[in-house]
A and B are shown apart, each in its own frame.
Chain A
Amino acid sequence: MADSFEPVLLRNVGVENSTALKVYESRGGYRAVRQALKQTPGEITEEVKKANLRGRGGAGFPAGVKWGFLPPNRTVTLLCVNGDESEPPTFSNRVLMEKDPHQLIEGVIIAAYATQARIAYIYLRGEFHEQFHILQKAIDEAYVAGYLGKRVFGGDYSLECYIHRGAGAYVCGEETGLIESIEGKRGCPRIKPPFPAVEGVFHRPTVVNNVETISCIPHIIERGAEWFAGVGPQHSTGPKLFCISGPVNKPGCYEAAMDITVRELIEREDMGGGMQPARKVKAVFPGGVSMGVLTADELDMKMDFDDPQHYGLLGLGTAAAVVIDQDTDIRIVLRNVARFFGTESCGQCTQCREGTAWMYKIASRIADGAGRIEDLDILLDTARNMGMMPGLSICGLPDGATYPIETIVKKFRSELEDAIRAQPDGRVESAMSAVN
């Protein structure tokens, strides 16, 4: 299987001057879009549906089906590309944008043509500076070459492509939060329905796709839906980028079919390359922190769209793994994750705003050596009472906040309890009196 895997999305990474239009074209770039523009938009949508391209941003919703929700009698359609990659520890979109921006642009043109969008906004997070300059330069090049703008490739179709820069907000990665942010508002997600396909940016039918999803599209057109659907397991088709970070020998972004396990991602020579000397795995967040944690005994989990649920995780997420080594105190991890969601909650749903902040305070107390055993139950209780799954919130951010907290507390409970019991006397009392 994986031995014969040939990288597709990352094929230009490592090539000299890979961001230049000339280099991209010399390696077969912009062939797929020429082919696509000869087909009808409906044919391309069918092809993407047949390939079963599931969204790479985290939720795994099939891209072709999403396009199919657009009302047939619409006059204006907008395409948004979600490059707000903010989930720790994910950086696959960054690699795609800084190493192969023309692959993304080619995907944008095909996706926009398939949805009949005349404007495409690429939403780039505010912290991506170098990536912005690289991508903007590539867009300028494409305009000069006549690949973007009026009469794309000399045909009848016209497309404007703009970068919209965010300014530091995790919640703008949620598709309706992203839409609000493009409209110049706070990135507070909207209540759905109406879904963006019906009412998105400026109340127009809008498609929001992740950078990696869009980057897959030229390859589906060029190699065919059968090829794409034949890579990897049945419900998790196509090449996928996996990130690995933490104390491994070769942290980085690797491409594979979705039949690898977490263990392979860490240990294979052409991937993580094993743990650094004298380091041992204690825990792994396999899909970005919001999906939850695995213990060292659970590394045989398959990195596809279905298996993570069997391990108590929310899903595959962004398929970015961070390894926590044996010497790291799990209380530090708990505090870090709780702080992330505490600071990134947009604040419009009460139980998310208050719940994430509350969990952060409790986790800080535990990490500072002033925790109580019952704090662990308070964390679990808080976690159970927020999020979309109990139907209490507008977006999925609080679900992403509860899964890591819940899985850390459940899977590492004995370690947390031992640490709390080993605290010096009097810490809890002084911490509590400081609060009151």
Chain B
Amino acid sequence: MAWKAIDRNTPVVGADAEPALSEAVREKIRSFFDRYETKRAVLLPALHVVQDALGHVSWQAMVEVAALLELPPSDVIDTASFYTQYWTHPKGRKVITVCRSLTCEVMGGPAVLAEIKKQLGIGEHETTPDGNYSLMTEECLAGCDHGPCMLINEKMHKCVKPADVAKILADPDNDRIDSERSDLFDAPRMTGDAARKAPPPG
């Protein structure tokens, strides 16, 4: 009998999916090309840009990044899955990252984490039903002089006490940093499905 030939050239993931990345996002990724000798080296910046655009790095986005960087999709997935800060699944609008390393733990970090869980009604790696907050823990955030500390998106909250949690969560600007931002890794904002379903230009 003849072996059945398997077509391995046609991508399985996203074969019929609509493109996840807008032209503006692709252009942003291309702007990193002249910084590195190989296209593969653009992968980490590219994934940062994609995550900024989509809120996470979807399978479809990984396939498209692979095409853009002339890599097999498996290489992109390999790298993206190694790093804890690339999320392959959607997260809430604000991601709370509580430090769980030694100083924060001995200074009362677990009580802060427990209070956040109680207030939001979610556990680690979960998102509130309204999509406002996701919660995760991370190893040392290098804020040990102000332990326990946590990040809300980019903003570091220092010396957090369980009693402060309600106030911090109620503040709408709790993810705003004081310093002037650089837009190097920022992507033109696309809000998930809405952006994807927008009619094509022209």
- A residues contacting B by CB (< 8 A) are 85-91, 93-94, 119, 125-130, 132-134, 136-137, 140, 160, 162-170, 181-187, 201-202, 204, 243-247, 251-253, 285, 289, 320, 322, 324-325, 328, 332-333, 336-337, 339-340, 343-344, 346
Contact = CB atoms under 8 A, between A and B. Distances in A.
B59 interface: no
Contacts of B43: 184-185
B73 interface: no
A336 B141 contact: no
Given A167-B44, A167-B47, A336 B105 contact: yes
B41 A186 contact: no
Contacts of B79: 184-186
Nearest to A325: B106
Contact of A246 (B37, B40, B103): B103
A164 B47 CA distance: 12
Contacts of B84: 167-169
Contacts of A320: 144
Nearest to A244: B145
Interface residues of B, number: 52
Contacts of B44: 164-167, 181-182, 184
A140 B183 CA distance: 12
A168 B144 CA distance: 17
B141 A127 contact: yes
A168 B105 contact: no
B142 A128 contact: yes
B139 A165 contact: no
B55 interface: no
B144 A91 contact: yes
B140 interface: yes
A284 to B, nearest CB: 11
Nearest to A76: B37
B42 A184 contact: yes
Contacts of A162: 35
Interface centre among B45, B178, B182 (most CB of A within 10 A): B182
A129 to B, nearest CB: 4
A340 B84 CA distance: 13
Interface in B67-95: 69, 75, 78-79, 82-86
Contacts of A185: 40, 43, 75, 78-79
B106 A324 contact: yes
Contacts of B139: 86, 88, 170, 340, 343-344
B184 interface: yes
Nearest to A346: B82
B83 A168 contact: yes
B182 A86 contact: no
Contact of B142 (A85, A285, A339, A340): A85
Contacts of A332: 105-106
Contact of A89 (B47, B102, B178, B182): B102
A204 B153 CA distance: 36
A91 B99 CA distance: 14
B66 to A, nearest CB: 11
Contact of A133 (B37, B103, B177): B177
A129 B153 CA distance: 9
Contact of B154 (A87, A130, A137, A333): A130
A291 to B, nearest CB: 12
Nearest to B153: A129
A244 B139 CA distance: 18
Contacts of B75: 185
B85 A126 contact: yes
B193 interface: no
Q: Which 4 A-B pairs have the closest CB atoms?
A: A184-B43, A167-B83, A129-B154, A89-B144
A133 B41 contact: no
B138 A187 contact: no
A94 B142 contact: yes
B27 to A, nearest CB: 18
B96 interface: no
A348 B140 CA distance: 22
B47 A127 contact: no
B187 to A, nearest CB: 14
Interface string B116-142: 000000000000000000000011111
